Amino acid sequence: MKGFIFDLDGVIVSTDGLHYLAWKQMADKEGIYFDEKINNRLRGVSRMASLEIILERSVREYSDEEKQTLATYKNDIYKELLKSLTPNDILPGVSETLKELRARGYKLAIGSSSRNTPQILKYIGLEGFFDAVSDGNNITNSKPDPEVFIKGAVFLGLESSECYVVEDAKAGVDAGIAGGFTTIALGDAYGYDKADFSIKHFGEILSIAK
């Protein structure tokens, strides 16, 4: 094994709360019921797919143009909220583990469906840290499609079979499996029986990557 591809949100940093606030503001504006349970269904899926889930509670139909307007409205709110992020928002154990993996010679990449990945990495002080970034700006299919991870491996110059994928969403684990990667599940995906490994703490990666 030569590389690691990490999902961003929920693995490196958590912006779930910011997503929730932005989606909630959009839903409230439209008079659509939205709560944290519904928000949990949005983990690991694209912005437009997330919107479709929220609109399940709507009493009316929306045109494609209206949906795009709503998605843009939500994202504008979210991007403003992202400006509050700092390096202190990097999740526990991440910085130390990433540095140790690099010291051990592993190539490191981000594999995220978010188009806001560059901004998030900048705000948390990891801009330019990873050897490659594959995100929503260079893919056409969101997880559980493996495209984002496959491109991440290509950017690293590695085969899928040479890389671990680290994910906190079952859809992300499914994407890793579909792409031929060895998967490590944590967070909400902890205990997912399809994953090759499950860890409770990010630092446990070091016991896998010997």
Q: What is the pLDDT of residue 158?
A: 98
**Chain segment 124-151, per-residue pLDDT in tens:** 999 999 999 999 999 989 889 999 999 9
**Chain segment 35-54, per-residue pLDDT in tens:** 999 998 887 677 898 999 99
Q: What is the DSSP letter of 128?
A: T
Assess whether pLDDT exceeds 80 at residue 27. yes
Q: What is the pLDDT of residue 146?
A: 97
Out of 7, 16, 145, 168, pick the active-site residue: 7
Assess whether pLDDT exceeds 80 at residue 26. yes
Q: What is the pLDDT of residue 191?
A: 95
Q: What is the pLDDT of residue 70?
A: 98
Out of 9, 16, 135, 168, pick the active-site residue: 9
**Sign of the CA dihedral with 81 first, then 78, 60, and 55 last:** negative
Q: Measured at the alpha carbon of residue 139, what is the angle toward residues 135 and 143, in degrees to the nearest 5?
A: 80
- For the segment 89-98, the average pLDDT, to the nearest whole number, is 97
Annotated catalytic residue 64: no
**Sign of the CA dihedral with 110 first, then 51, 185, and 122 last:** positive
- What structural domains and CATH numbers belong to the chain? 3-13+87-208 (3.40.50.1000), 16-82 (1.10.150.240)
